[in-house]
Amino acid sequence: MKREFREGESMSTGIIDVRDWQVTVDFQTGNKIELENELTGMVREIIRNNRYPGDMDLRSIDWVTDMGLRLADKYNPDFMFLSYAQPYFFSAYGQGTPGEWESVMKRIFDNVEKFLAGTDFWPVVVGLGRMTDLLGKIDLSILDCLAIATNWSLQYAGLFNPTAEDVEKVMAMPKLEKVISKEDFVKEYGGSESFIKRFPDYLLTAEEGYTFKGFESTSRKIKKIPAKNIEIPIYTTLGEVNSLIDIRGLIDSVLPEKKVALIVIEAIGAGDFEYEYKLCSNKLNSYIYEHIESQYLAMTTGKHFQYHPFPPVFKFFEEDNENKSYPFSGSHYTLPQDTIGRRKDIKSGAVGTRGMVTHVASGADICIECYARQLSNMGTLAVINDTKNE
């Protein structure tokens, strides 16, 4: 079942399926490779026979479950990570009628039940926080400096090399909750060297219901954005969780004696959560997590956002060049090695409709995720990580 590596190749393999056509790549370089073994054959077969329906298609909820069941059956992992992102897409970009939302919720929890009934995992189910109506945008394009506001982080924006006048203008902007300088942030939060190096000169936080527009924004209409979810609902019978970073420790404490499935559902708060939940903290000081990579990584590594390499806003375009490795992994130059899925004593699998984040945050031996960009359905990506078994 193991891949044989040639000199210069990474220990991760990507298999891309774009309907009736597949290609295998070295995941570090992105270059095509020829590789056939039992494991790649198994993964190819799974993704070939279950096409991703698309971000705005309700059947994509079933897709996660079906893929998860197939992977659990064929690979028999000790740890499974499932990410249901569809509620986010429906909430942010859909029609948003109450009837539509109810059917999304029903389908989600029916699917979670189906997965759990078809496997023997102990569940840890987390709702990543409710959405709220978009009330308005704070326009940063009036500033002289580079003011970055991206769809990756809707509640936060960053200023780079602002003038004194820029800072003055920002301070007077309505609906702005907080402005924190890099210096003050580092004093309060600390953080990894790579995180601090990339951190903007000023980090801006919008009030609930507001987002930013500026350099890097798009005009795609968005109806709802993540609310200020200070706490998020969690269901598990495995033990107590006070903060989202405790999830890692809880799962670590029972693996490998118990098989565990960490199931995350985006855009769901306590009000929509169907299981008997407890609330856990979704923040650190004044920083509140959104449905982005930092929230996923906090759960799967047990470390808060400032100990990961990338702040909520940074100049990704400066690094997105031919020297960047792992081209299918967004901003990452290496795949994080401190995630649950990288534990050396377990087998792990992951399926998700939050592309890129699923394989980055789970670190699972086998990850299957949709390959969609800006709601365009490009197909499916599977990642096979072999390093920990070497």
Partner 1 sequence: MYAVVDGEIRERFPNTWSTYHATHIEQIPFFHAYPGSRSLLVGTAGCNFSCSYCMNAYVAKEKPENLDLFELTPEKLVKTAKLSGCHNIVFGVNEVTVSLPSAINLAKEAKLHNLPMGCLSNGYMTEEAAGLLADHMSFLNISLKSLSPEFYQKYAGVTDIKPVLRNIEKFAVKNHLEITTPIVQSVNDHEIEEIAKYIRDIDPNIPWHVFRLLPEYKMKDYAYPDIEKISEALQKAGEILPYIYFSNFVGSPWVSTNCPECGKTVINRISLGTCGAKLLNNLLLENRCPGCGEKIAVLEDYEKGIPGR
- Residues in contact with partner 1 by the rule CB under 8 A: 16, 18-21, 23, 25, 29-32, 137, 139, 141, 144-146, 160-161, 213, 215-221, 315, 317-318, 320-322, 327-328, 371, 373-374, 376-379, 381
**In terms of CB distance, is 139 or 338 closer to partner 1?**
139
Identify whether 256 is preceded by a cis peptide bond (ω within 30 of 0). yes
**In terms of CB distance, is 22 or 194 closer to partner 1?**
22
HSE value, Cβ hemisphere, 13 Å, CA-based, for 232: 32
* Residue 365 C-beta: closest distance to partner 1, Å: 21
* Residue 333 C-beta: closest distance to partner 1, Å: 15
Residue tagged 């990506």 (tokens):
381
The DSSP symbol for 3 reads P
**In terms of CB distance, is 21 or 120 closer to partner 1?**
21
**Residue 114: strand, helix, or coil:** helix
Residue type, 326: Y
**In terms of CB distance, is 49 or 253 closer to partner 1?**
49
* Residue 304 C-beta: closest distance to partner 1, Å: 29
Residues in a beta bridge with 206: 176
Q: What is d(CA 264, CA 273) in angstroms, rounded to the nearest whole number?
A: 11
* Residue 30 C-beta: closest distance to partner 1, Å: 4
Residues in a beta bridge with 369: 352, 381
* Residue 329 C-beta: closest distance to partner 1, Å: 11
Token pair for 149: 């506001």
- Whole-angstrom CA distances from 108 to 52, 87, 264, 351 are 16, 8, 11, 14
Q: What is d(CA 327, CA 333) in angstroms, rounded to the nearest whole number?
A: 8
* Residue 69 C-beta: closest distance to partner 1, Å: 25
**In terms of CB distance, is 97 or 323 closer to partner 1?**
323
**In terms of CB distance, is 45 or 144 closer to partner 1?**
144
Q: What is d(CA 242, CA 230) in angstroms, rounded to the nearest whole number?
A: 12
